[in-house]
């Protein structure tokens, strides 16, 4: 029998989805499973997007341009202007989700063996995208007791070699919810400028910043305009994960020209998704404010509840809708599986993502989990009770 590729062997399992079969089995056995593992909001998609899909009256669902529908890209220019991100429609390439934007950014900018530096814990699929591109991810751990703030610049510089091509950040951060400060962003800018690196900046959660400080985009950093490649998506801000519409935005014409060739090879981004995404730009401010306030309340409710459980600690996330919590367990992978396969409280259990899958450094995250507060507070209350009761009897409890 032929062997699979070395790339296929190296491709990591998703910590977000690898326990799905256990959750399915739990449901088949009659348990209710609360999904805290995945960033799938339970809030409704804007009605303007639903209506746009319903109004489609075409005889042919044709290919769209490889770079995306022009009217959508032009309309996005005004959207970004609201955040003081000044770009043109030609700077924007529409992709099949933010995932494709990251993949194409790597493929366009990195040769096999080139290195990128990523603070960890980080979104697990970044490593998968790097493997597709043949790139090498070098990670610098951030610490839960420091709220997952940016590691010292000196640690970045120690990792820089002649193969280092870029730094990747997610701001606000998935999985930690950390929001980089102006001072931290300036330090990243100075590194990028000093070593002439790419700055890959995933900013899909920009609507969800919970501090009084202004949101800092990589595009706000002066002097590195041609180094920045911004990744975006409609999935989170509009609860449109299934549309699979993202964007890659850069002022670097050479990068855009390279990315376009990859886009042409895959033909076009989803037509229906773009129609709905374009309509979503007319979403009311009321919807956006209600969504923001809902996450703000869920965040407080969840973090307060977690830190009241004996042995559990979570810092306060300042953005996105995730937190990484430390639990009194020997192995969060085993614990998360045990919750689904061996435990229930009143015929209910919870599905969390083991944090070890968000780290590259061996051994880190073994007593941490990522929790997405994408469920209503009533469901979060039940989930917290389930976690508390589970920790009382888990065989691998460390307290």
Question: Does position 13 have pLDDT exceeding 90, yes or no?
Answer: no
Number of H helices, E strands in the chain: 13, 12
Question: Does position 375 have pLDDT exceeding 90, yes or no?
Answer: yes
> Tokens at residue 106, please?
């790597």
Give the per-residue pLDDT at 12. 85
Q: Quick one: average pLDDT of 206-222?
A: 94
Q: Considering the domain 59-280, what is its CATH architecture?
A: 3-Layer(aba) Sandwich (3.40)
pLDDT band with cut points at 50, 70 and 90 for residue 275: very high
Give the per-residue pLDDT at 91. 98
Sign, CA dihedral 285-269-118-165, equals negative
pLDDT band with cut points at 50, 70 and 90 for residue 381: very high
Determine whether domain 6-44+286-393 maps to CATH 3.90.1150.10: yes
> Tokens at residue 4, please?
């699979």
pLDDT tens digit sequence for 85-121: 999 999 999 999 999 999 999 999 999 999 999 999 9
Question: Does position 11 have pLDDT exceeding 90, yes or no?
Answer: no
- Alpha-helix runs per DSSP H in 110-233: 125-133, 153-159, 182-195
Contacts of 205 (CB under 8 A, 6+ apart): 170, 172, 174, 236, 237, 319, 320, 321
Average pLDDT over the chain, rounded to an integer: 97
pLDDT band with cut points at 50, 70 and 90 for residue 335: very high
Q: Which residues pair with 227 in a beta bridge?
A: none
Give the per-residue pLDDT at 281. 98
Question: Does position 213 have pLDDT exceeding 90, yes or no?
Answer: no
pTM (2 d.p.): 0.96
Domain ranges of the chain: 6-44+286-393, 59-280
Q: Taking each helix axis from N to C terminus, what angle separates 97-109 and 253-265, rounded to the nearest 10 degrees?
A: 120
pLDDT tens digit sequence for 17-41: 889 999 999 999 999 999 999 999 9
Sign, CA dihedral 131-133-138-140, equals negative
């Amino acid at each position: 029998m032929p062997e699979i590729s070395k790339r296929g062997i190296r491709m990591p399992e998703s910590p977000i989805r690898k326990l799905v079969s256990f959750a399915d089995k739990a449901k088949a056995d009659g348990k209710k499973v609360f999904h805290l593992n995945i960033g799938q909001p339970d809030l409704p998609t804007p009605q303007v997007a639903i209506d746009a899909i319903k109004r489609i009256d075409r005889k042919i669902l044709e290919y769209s341009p490889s770079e995306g529908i022009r009217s959508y890209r032009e309309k996005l220019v005004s959207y970004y202007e609201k955040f003081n991100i000044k770009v043109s429609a030609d700077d924007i390439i529409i992709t099949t989700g933010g995932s494709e934007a990251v993949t194409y950014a790597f493929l366009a900018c990195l040769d096999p063996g080139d290195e990128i530096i990523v603070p960890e814990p980080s979104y697990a699929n970044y490593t998968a995208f790097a493997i597709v591109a043949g790139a090498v991810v070098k990670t610098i751990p951030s610490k839960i007791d420091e709220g997952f703030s940016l590691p010292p610049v000196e640690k970045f510089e120690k990792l820089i070699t002649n193969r280092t091509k870029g730094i990747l950040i997610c701001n606000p951060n998935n999985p930690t919810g950390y929001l980089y400060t102006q001072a931290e962003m300036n330090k990243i800018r100075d590194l990028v400028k000093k070593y002439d690196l790419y700055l890959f900046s995933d900013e899909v959660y920009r609507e969800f910043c919970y501090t009084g400080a202004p949101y800092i985009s990589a595009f706000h950093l002066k002097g590195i305009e041609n180094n920045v490649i911004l990744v975006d998506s409609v999935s989170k801000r509009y609860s449109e994960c299934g549309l699979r519409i993202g964007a890659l935005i850069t002022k670097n014409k050479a990068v855009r020209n390279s990315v376009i060739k990859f886009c042409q090879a895959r033909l076009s981004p989803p037509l229906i998704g773009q129609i709905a995404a374009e309509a979503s730009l007319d979403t009311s401010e009321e919807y956006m404010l209600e969504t923001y306030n809902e996450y703000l309340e869920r965040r407080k409710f969840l973090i307060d509840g977690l830190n009241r459980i004996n042995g559990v600690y979570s810092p306060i996330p300042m953005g996105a809708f995730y937190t990484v919590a430390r639990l009194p367990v020997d192995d969060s992978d085993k614990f998360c599986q045990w919750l689904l396969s061996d435990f229930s409280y009143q015929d209910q259990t919870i599905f969390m993502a083991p944090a070890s899958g968000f780290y590259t450094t061996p051994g880190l995250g073994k007593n941490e989990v990522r929790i997405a507060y994408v469920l209503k507070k009533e469901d979060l209350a039940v989930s917290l009770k389930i976690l508390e009761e589970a920790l009382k009897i888990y065989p691998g409890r460390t307290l």
